[in-house]
A and B are shown apart, each in its own frame.
Chain A
Amino acid sequence: MAFKWLKKNYRESEVTLSDYALDLERKKRTFSKYAVGILFMLPYLAMFVTFFLYPLISGLIISLFKYNIANPVFDATTWRGFTNYEKLFTTSTSFGADFWNGIRLTLLFVVIIVPCQILIPLGLAYLVNLKPKGSAFFRTVLYLPSIFPQTATGLIFLNMFNLNYGFINSFFGTSTNWLSDPTYNTILIIIFTVWAGCGGNFLIFYAALQNCDSTLNEAAAIDGCKGFRRFISITLPQIKPQLVICLFTTSIGMMNFYGQIYMLGAYQVDSSVKLTVIYVIQNLITGTNFEVYGMVSAMAVLLGVFIAMISITQLVVTKDRKGGSKHAEQYQEALKRS
């Protein structure tokens, strides 16, 4: 029966049986080529759509409205177009003032913390990779701060740096107001963030250094290349991909800076030194502030744009491009040349 139907249909469309078989084979090949991949990607895709794509699109739409979470209406009466964005670009409104202060503060933390979180772990990884005595111990100790939850370590820092009974002031015989003085509090937050955040990058750099080709180093040493120069010219290019990844992830992570300030800035009375963009957003949506969601969505979108701009800048500056075949192509070219 099915064959008859097939025959009839193919006769009508003037497609030969071999064309049909080829077409079927092609479809089957395409399916089997991508099916497994799609299957493996499915959990990620589901999460990506649910927790990234959907909120992103919703946020974009909400940012164009006066969105009241208690009375969400999308119509002409609540349509604001780009008004929310316009208000963010004028510091005459509290939203604009808070947002730009938040951006300024966030960027300040990025500029200070990111280099620390790259250079310090890199140096430490380099030293540990020299395999001194007890290197396994140092490796563990250096990664340890990343294991503990930041709320717990934050509390420890709060007590250590307390003005009245803190260990740090007692030990050094000082009376520094680490928690309330805006300058010292900022320094404390930076110290804490760098200390707590170095472990991850350290591990990546350490793994990268272990995979470096030692023969290149040996050859360079024979050619008379020494110490720092050898590190810059031989080691660093070999770990450049990891360096770029760490630079990306650390910078983007820092743009969402919040938890550390929330913990250690709790006693900070000068809000201008602690309200990063995420903090501003968090503050705006507490309690019965139901009508601000359009505005905070605009803030979030704008922050996203900033993060994207930083990523693009980093890509351009590092002149790196993604693409899995790049190294393979370079290898092929080198092979041809040899």
Chain B
Amino acid sequence: MKKATHLLTMVLAVTLLAACETAPQSSSGGDGGIDDKYLGEWKDDSVDDLQFDNDGNPILNNVELKMWSTVTNPDAEYQDQIIADFNKAYEGQIKLSYTGGGVCYHESRFSIYGNFAKTVNQDPENAPDVFYGYGERIGAITNQDLIVPVGPYLKMANIGFQKDYFETKLIDNCFVGDNLYGLPISVDTAHTLARKDILEKNGLTVPTNYLELTDVCDKLVEKANAGELWVRGNDTAYVAKGDPTEWRKYSVAIEGPYYPFPISNGDMWIYDYYAETAALQNGGVLCDKSGMPSFASPEVAGGLQILRDWIFPTETSSNKYAMSAPDLNYDAGAKDFYAGTCSFYLDGAWGLYVDTAKLDTMYIGEGGSKDNLAIINPSKLLCKDYSKDYSKEIFGDSHAISLVKNTTSRAKRVAGAIFSNYLAEHSGGLWTKAGHLPASTVVQQSTDDYLDNPYYQKYVQYFGTTDLYQTMPVSVYYDYVMNGYHTALKQATSSIYTSRNIIDLLSDAQEDAVQRINDIKGL
């Protein structure tokens, strides 16, 4: 009996050790210790409730964490699943929960920052311990002393950190001076989808750059005008009569002018991604090193001219015909794309799962979505000169996770660092489903988590590599820069402002943004 008890104890001990092994304690990639220059200050962690075992590992006993996240559905659903997996892996050690139910609080990016700042200062009991936001906004929230450096707590958690574990531009966003204020998780952008079946039926190939795109679009319009354009639908909800899967000729007389690639200037795909990518691929920058707006430049104007030509072609534009009708509503082209009455469609990365699933159901007998849908790499898609390196650049929003200053418990901060590292390590897998590209260079090379991932295989592989992605440089005036640029973009692509020069619109918007920043400084 005594022997049996000993054996059971040994089995239990081995099981527990194995369990500890499974719970990842390692770094986001390498095995090295943290570089001391990234340690940063130990801020306000007055509650020294952290203990270490004999090996120097932190002992975490049911540490409860609260997280606020800027991510909303459908991403929020995937993020909650990843957090639930974390809770399972760290059962008894760390648990993320939210008093309102679920594992995390999600709120729109437009309002979460204000509420976050208010709660941290005025209702600290309900403030989160970790904040999941945008990497490019870390400067703004650090400036307001809302978050603390994560370096010391990564070190306490024995998590090695090297800058090169992450994509350079994304990790740079998380630094303020020499202090690391968060870990980058992922980056995403809007994507261009093409109805490959329609293009092929009409003897055209999927374009790979802007000039090819405008050429294909012109040919589609010419065919439509000549009554020779073959189209077919996918979703019966958008096709009034007949079998939507039947090939038919597009009728301009009945269906109106054919617009191959509808876009809306009020649509976030345009003003949050395409417009910025257009500026980048034409060599423009939106703000200077001091964070002040600097978008009133010929390069940025060149980018916006491409978007204006899209809707209002001129003699000097690459496209002869309008690729989109003017002044469209949000989600322009969604129903046309499925009805086959346009050939290209712009959607957010997180919409790709739904988009591809919809097209998967179409014509399975003809080869499934592979034959019907193509995703065009955003590089070189919004510029005419491909000789420059910047023509490949893609604008994206980056996500990063930070530790909130209110949490004075060291154990909680270390738990937060472990969780942050977990999210960075799990930025492949399910997170890929929402179309996010991992910030971790280790995950980028992982076959299990990323390269063999079905979502990577299906759509993320066409998004371009993470190193091509540029985010907005860290600026405490982020909102003013973006609002100013978006104003100019909306005007440049609106039918009301066609008589005005783009550079004039940009100059006016920049002047207004600078005045607003100066007014804020003078408060």
Residues in A lying within 8 Å of B, measured CB to CB: 66, 68-72, 80, 84, 87, 93-95, 158-159, 162-164, 177, 179-182, 266-267, 269-271, 283, 285-292, 294-295
Contact = CB atoms under 8 A, between A and B. Distances in A.
A286 B479 contact: yes
B144 A68 contact: yes
Given A69-B121, A70-B144, A288-B478, A267 B113 contact: no
Contacts of B494: 180, 269
A177 B494 CA distance: 11
A94 B496 contact: no
Contacts of B328: 164
B270 to A, nearest CB: 12
Interface string B510-523: 00100110011011
24 contacts: A66-B523, A69-B114, A69-B118, A70-B121, A70-B146, A71-B145, A87-B519, A159-B329, A163-B325, A177-B327, A179-B329, A181-B496, A182-B496, A266-B266, A269-B490, A283-B483, A286-B110, A287-B109, A287-B478, A288-B117, A288-B141, A288-B478, A289-B114, A290-B117
Interface in B462-497: 476, 478-479, 483, 487, 490-491, 494-497
B335 to A, nearest CB: 10
B137 interface: yes
Contacts of A182: 496
Nearest to B116: A70
A303 B137 CA distance: 32
B221 to A, nearest CB: 16
Contacts of B516: 94
Contact of A72 (B111, B121, B478, B515): B121
Q: Which of B266, B478, B487 has the most CB of A within 10 A?
A: B266
Contacts of B398: none
Contacts of B515: 93-94
Contact of B329 (A72, A93, A267, A291): A267
B414 to A, nearest CB: 25
Nearest to B487: A271
Interface residues of B, number: 44
Given A164-B328, A180-B496, A288 B523 contact: no
Contacts of B372: none
Closest 5 CB pairs of A and B: A70-B144, A70-B117, A288-B140, A287-B479, A269-B490
Contacts of B121: 69-72
A290 B329 contact: no
A266 B332 CA distance: 14
Nearest to B330: A266
B120 interface: yes
B234 interface: no
Contacts of B120: 70
A320 to B, nearest CB: 41
Interface of B: 109-111, 113-114, 117-118, 120-122, 137, 140-141, 144-146, 256, 264-266, 325-330, 476, 478-479, 483, 487, 490-491, 494-497, 512, 515-516, 519-520, 522-523
Contacts of A68: 144
Contact of A163 (B326, B476, B491, B520): B326
B331 to A, nearest CB: 12
B111 A94 contact: no
Nearest to A286: B110
Contacts of A285: 114
A163 B109 CA distance: 30
A187 to B, nearest CB: 15
Contact of B110 (A71, A87, A177, A287): A287
A177 B265 CA distance: 15
A269 B479 contact: no
A267 B271 CA distance: 12
A97 B317 CA distance: 38
B523 A295 contact: yes
B66 to A, nearest CB: 18
Most chain A CB within 10 A, of B145, B146, B327, B523, is at: B523
Nearest to B120: A70
A292 B327 contact: no
Contacts of B137: 287-288
B144 A71 contact: yes
Contacts of A179: 327, 329
A61 B254 CA distance: 63
A271 to B, nearest CB: 7
Given A266-B266, A269-B496, A69 B110 contact: no
B373 to A, nearest CB: 24
Contact of A164 (B111, B144, B325): B325
A267 B496 contact: no
Contacts of B476: 288
A303 B113 CA distance: 26
Contacts of A158: 329
Nearest to B480: A289
B114 A94 contact: no
B491 A288 contact: no
A287 B327 contact: no
